[in-house]
Amino acid sequence: MRYGSSIRPDEAKLVQEGFEKAYPKIKIEFTPDIEQQASERVMAEALAGMVDFDLVNVPSALQVSFRKSGVLAAGLEWRKIFPEAPTEHFSPDGYLAVVSFIPRVIAYNPALVPPERIPKTWQDCLDPYWKGKFMVHARAHPFVGLWPTWGEEKTIQFVKQLKENQPIWGRASNLETALQVTSGEIPMICGIHYTTIFNVLRRDAQTKIGAAFPKETPIGMGETLGVLKGAKNPNAAFLLAGWLASLDGQKAAEKIGRASPFIEGTETRKRLQKAGVKIIFGGWAEEEHAPERTKKILAAWGFPTGK
């Protein structure tokens, strides 16, 4: 069964070993780095009748396109086969299963940031103490994630105030910006994937980086999987995606910091509960609004919006 994923091979080994033990007769041919551009190519090939993958990552920004194109297997009864998995893990229309989640947090270097200065809320990023010496990622994902609860007026007002605090604009990957924190180049990033910090620390627990969960923490979808129409091994693909979204699969996702916050007992949920945060999850319909909301935030920052 051919599986196109966004995660790296070392992460896949940790995540899939439980499935391989449970279903030893299913052999997974794993292809990494299936993200935006690669997923677009998979969709285009499927439209042309070339279906090489059985199961593929469908990035959030492409979910609507994949649905409308008709390249995904329809009518999959996820909840019937995996009733113990939370409802949030499957799209209401049955096309997709989300198998990992990404809290948006604040990263800091504990050697450079005194305990009393560690941000506890997004508004703490507006403190003049940070003026000109903290980073904000220009992709705006954390603030798009706040929109469902904050609404447009509050979100746009906040991002404008954030700009006034003169952040260093980050345009590299989450990992590259995290390494700027660990090296001491910048002391704090206002908005980054928690999974990035988790995996930096997984590789070296002594690395100088910490994660602060704001009182309102947006939760984004990480890897979202769809079975392709015309797949050679659709049943095996369905089984793997459902297992990854289930309790057993989420125990595996915990090894790479991507476990669901909607399952009691996962490390992610424990961290959120310990921080006493309110989870903000826009749900499956959020991705339809995300592009327009992103454009409005970028316009507030004075960046090109692609119009």
31 lies in a domain?
yes
Contact 162, 136 (CB under 8 A): yes
Distance CA 187, CA 209 (A): 9
Could you give the C-alpha distances from 92 to 2, 70, 142, 284, in angstroms and in order? Answer: 25, 16, 24, 8
Q: Are residues 61 and 123 in the same domain?
A: no
Counted domains in the chain = 2
Q: What is the pLDDT of residue 90?
A: 96
Domain that holds residue 227: 2-100+222-261
Q: Are residues 91 and 111 in the same domain?
A: no
28 lies in a domain?
yes
Q: What is the pLDDT of residue 306?
A: 62
268 lies in a domain?
no
53 lies in a domain?
yes
Q: Are residues 211 and 293 in the same domain?
A: yes
46 lies in a domain?
yes
Q: Are residues 176 and 66 in the same domain?
A: no
Q: Are residues 21 and 37 in the same domain?
A: yes
DSSP SS3 for 137: strand
Q: Are residues 83 and 115 in the same domain?
A: no
89 lies in a domain?
yes
Distance CA 104, CA 301 (A): 20
Q: Are residues 56 and 152 in the same domain?
A: no
Cα diameter, the chain: 59
Q: Are residues 143 and 108 in the same domain?
A: yes
Q: Are residues 143 and 241 in the same domain?
A: no
* Per-residue b or e along 50-71, where b marks 16 or more CB atoms closer than 10 Å to that residue's CB: ebebbbbbbbbebbeebbeeeb
Angle at 193 between CA 190 and CA 195, to 5 degrees: 140
Q: What is the pLDDT along the chain (307 residues), one digit of tens a residue?
A: 999 999 989 999 999 999 999 999 999 999 998 998 999 999 999 999 999 999 999 998 899 899 999 999 998 999 999 999 999 999 999 999 999 999 999 999 999 999 999 999 999 999 999 999 999 999 899 999 999 999 999 999 999 999 999 999 998 888 999 999 999 999 999 999 999 999 999 999 999 999 999 999 999 999 999 999 999 999 999 999 999 999 999 999 999 999 999 998 888 898 899 889 999 998 898 878 888 999 999 999 999 876 4
| Domain CATH code at residue 91 | 3.40.190.10
Angle at 221 between CA 226 and CA 119, to 5 degrees: 170
Q: Are residues 147 and 61 in the same domain?
A: no
269 lies in a domain?
no
Residues ≥6 apart with Cβ < 8 Å to 53: 2, 3, 4, 31, 42, 228, 231
Instruction: List strand residue ranges (DSSP E) for 141-288, in order.
Output: 168-170, 188-193, 210-212, 216-221, 224-227, 278-280
306 lies in a domain?
no
Q: Are residues 36 and 52 in the same domain?
A: yes
Q: Are residues 175 and 68 in the same domain?
A: no
